[in-house]
Amino acid sequence: MIRIDPDDAFAHINLGFAYDELGEYDEAIKSYKQAIRIYPNDAYAHNNLGYTYDNLGKYEEAIESYKQAIRIDPDYALAHYNLACSYSSLGNVSKALESLGKAIDSGYDDIKHMENDSDLNGLRDEAGYKKLINKLKS
């Protein structure tokens, strides 16, 4: 598809996703960045780029990508959730809980994933985390 239309942002996003699945994160980053160059307002591409940075432990870069996704789509629940995970991985509990709350307010409701996501381990003993879990359960 990219050979036919090199300016197809969606094709670059799909290629980035495939590279992510293969663990070829540097190539995934290149693909997502190309998609963003073509279509800078694609929240999905920014979110996926952040997720790839997360996989590499580049949390600051991930945070910036998630913030871009949220700037484009303020109600992008998964971007808020991923932002919470990055903040949690950096030990920033207050920002992680704030982002997690925004994720839930935006519709994130995968409680099973949330309770098993190791990225959130630093939040489990926090009263704010327990309050958010209870909010989802009710």
Predicted local distance difference test score (pLDDT) of residue 4: 60
Judge residue 131's burial from the number of C-beta atoms within 10 Å of its C-beta, 0-12 exposed, 13-18 middle, 19 or more buried.
exposed
The string of pLDDT tens digits covering residues 4-39 is 667 778 899 999 999 999 999 999 999 999 999 999
Residue 58 backbone zone (phi > 0: left; psi -120 to 50: alpha; other: beta): beta
Asked, for residue 86, whether it belongs to a domain, the answer is: yes
Q: Token pair of 102, please?
A: 């925004």
Question: Alpha carbon 44 to chain centroid distance?
Answer: 9
Asked, for residue 37, whether it belongs to a domain, the answer is: yes
User: Residue 87 sits in which domain range?
Assistant: 9-137
Burial per residue of 52-69, b for 16 or more beta-carbon CB atoms within 10 angstroms, e otherwise = bbbeeebbebbbbbbbbb
CATH number of residue 102's parent domain: 1.25.40.10
Asked, for residue 82, whether it belongs to a domain, the answer is: yes
Judge residue 88's burial from the number of C-beta atoms within 10 Å of its C-beta, 0-12 exposed, 13-18 middle, 19 or more buried.
buried
pLDDT surpasses 80 at 2: no
Asked, for residue 4, whether it belongs to a domain, the answer is: no
Distance CA 36, CA 33 (A): 5
Distance CA 75, CA 59 (A): 21
Predicted local distance difference test score (pLDDT) of residue 25: 97
**What is the total count of domains within the chain?**
1
Asked, for residue 42, whether it belongs to a domain, the answer is: yes
Predicted local distance difference test score (pLDDT) of residue 28: 97
The string of pLDDT tens digits covering residues 104-132 is 999 999 999 999 999 999 999 999 999 99
The string of pLDDT tens digits covering residues 56-91 is 999 999 999 999 999 999 999 999 999 999 999 999
